[in-house]
Amino acid sequence: MTTNNLHEPTAVIETRLAHGVHRVASNLLTEAAVRPSVPLDALEQLRDFLVANLRHHHETEDHDLWPRIIAAAPAISHELDELSGEHEQLDEALDRLSAVLVSDGTASDEVRVILHEAARAVRDTVHSHLTHEEPILFPALLDHISPQEWQDFSQRVIATTPPVAGHLMIGFLDEVGTPAEVELMLSALPEQVLPLIPAMRRQAAEDLRVLRGGVS
């Protein structure tokens, strides 16, 4: 869990937490895929969550955040183009992961091996990409994106986030951020969603326990 506090700008905090979720979720799917105690439907839910959120995250960067940064700092457009190229590589890995038929009647052991290999490719791509992206993106957010512009971008992201196992996002955020950071991030959710957070948090805790080998 991060030990940072709220002295960072919101853009950096929210991006760092989102990246933390991607790292933890991709690690967990890779590890859980070969655990015999983890039900296939739990693996499928995590797979679908990971694919949907990774796609949405990089698409909003490519089509919304990058143009905002380039408008303020054209000199780094080449670096952002390289990151978009890495997004294309990630899409290829996500295509393979999403194509795994988790519940098609194939023997469980065989499915788990196939899912593990596809998840490992996504995990490795995500970790490598973020190692490259963060030294470029964090300074750009500090120097070229105003708080107002980030708020506009963040609200667009929230409004278009796919409704796929959203409770898992809350569970993962609790693992990668401090309570204050998580509260900051969740406070931006639509007002009608806020009363549902405690129940979503409980469901996430249970699902993550099962994925880590707990008894269902």
Mean pLDDT within 14-42: 96
Kindly state whether residue 76 falls inside one of the protein's structural domains: yes
pLDDT reported for residue 215: 55
Kindly state whether residue 172 falls inside one of the protein's structural domains: no
Kindly state whether residue 69 falls inside one of the protein's structural domains: yes
pTM listed for this prediction: 0.92
Kindly state whether residue 208 falls inside one of the protein's structural domains: no
pLDDT reported for residue 199: 97
For residue 24, what is the domain's CATH number? 1.20.120.520
pLDDT tens digits, residue range 27-39? Answer: 999 999 999 989 9
- Mean pLDDT in the chain? 93
Query: In angstroms, rounded to a whole number, what is the distance separating the alpha carbons of residues 167 and 13?
Result: 20
Kindly state whether residue 199 falls inside one of the protein's structural domains: no
Classify residue 36 by burial, with Cβ atoms within 10 Å: 0-12, 13-18, 19+.
exposed
Residue 76: give the domain boundaries.
Answer: 10-164
Mean pLDDT within 82-87: 96
The answer to whether 38 touches 211, Cβ cutoff 8 Å, is yes
Kindly state whether residue 16 falls inside one of the protein's structural domains: yes
Kindly state whether residue 193 falls inside one of the protein's structural domains: no
Helix axes 108-144, 77-98, angle to 10 degrees: 160
Query: In angstroms, rounded to a whole number, what is the distance separating the alpha carbons of residues 99 and 118?
Result: 9
Kindly state whether residue 38 falls inside one of the protein's structural domains: yes
Q: In sequence order, what are the residues at sequence separation of 6 or more whose Cβ sits closer than 8 angstroms to the Cβ of residue 144?
A: 68, 69, 72, 73
pLDDT tens digits, residue range 108-129? Answer: 888 999 999 999 999 999 999 9
Number of domains in the chain: 1
- Is it the case that residue 216 has pLDDT exceeding 50? no
pLDDT reported for residue 78: 96
SS3 for 1?
A: coil
